[in-house]
Structure 1
Amino acid sequence: MKKLGSVVARAITVIGIGLIGAPTASAGCQGMWTPWGGGQRCDGPIDPNGFFQRCETGGAFGFNTPQQCYQVDSNNLGDSQPWIAP
């Protein structure tokens, strides 16, 4: 069990390092967690056209994934999670 805790701690550290350059502090963020690692989802402010930028990071077993950012239409979320308010 101690080894699992060490892996999780390293994953969190790597994820934290990967968050450098993440959206501004005005963005709303939410942590994501799985038994193998975690990450973070951050949403920027909604623009006048109803779009916002969503950035996600993640990691597992001490390896992180590159930050993925994309535009989301707040008026048509489809299968997307709701906007995270700042």
Structure 2
Amino acid sequence: MKKLGSLVVCAITAMGIGVISAPAAQAGCQGLWTPWGGGQRCDDPIDANGFFQRCDTGGAFGFSTPPQCYQVDANNLGNNQPWIGP
């Protein structure tokens, strides 16, 4: 029973850390954070060639994934969501 109590305390601590360390939303970003997880998508400004860099992050229970960044053609979005402007 003591192990179960320790596990519960660890889970609550991890959730608390996730809430405390969640980054604030900024211009050019959209996201949703809860104590159980969430994510954020940020777009850089569109460059002279019509491209922008998009970075997606996510996480659950206080553990974050590294940002996944890629180039998007603003003139041909294909299956991508529209640009998130600052």
Which runs of structure 1 show a deviation greater than 4 angstroms over 4 or more consecutive aligned residues?
none
| Larger CA Rg, structure 1 vs 2 | 2
CA RMSD of aligned residues (A): 2.7
Distance in 2 between residues matched to 1:37 and 1:76, nearest whole Å: 31
TM-aligned CA deviation for residue 14 of structure 1: 4.2
Structure 2, unmatched stretches of 5+, are 1-10
TM-aligned CA deviation for residue 33 of structure 1: 4.7
TM-aligned CA deviation for residue 15 of structure 1: 4.2
Higher relative contact order (Cα pairs below 8 Å, separated by 6+ residues): 1
Structure 1, unmatched stretches of 5+, are 20-24
Q: What TM-score comes out, normalization by structure 1 length?
A: 0.67
Identity of aligned residues (%): 68
**Structure having the larger proportion of residues in strand:** 1
TM-aligned CA deviation for residue 29 of structure 1: 0.8
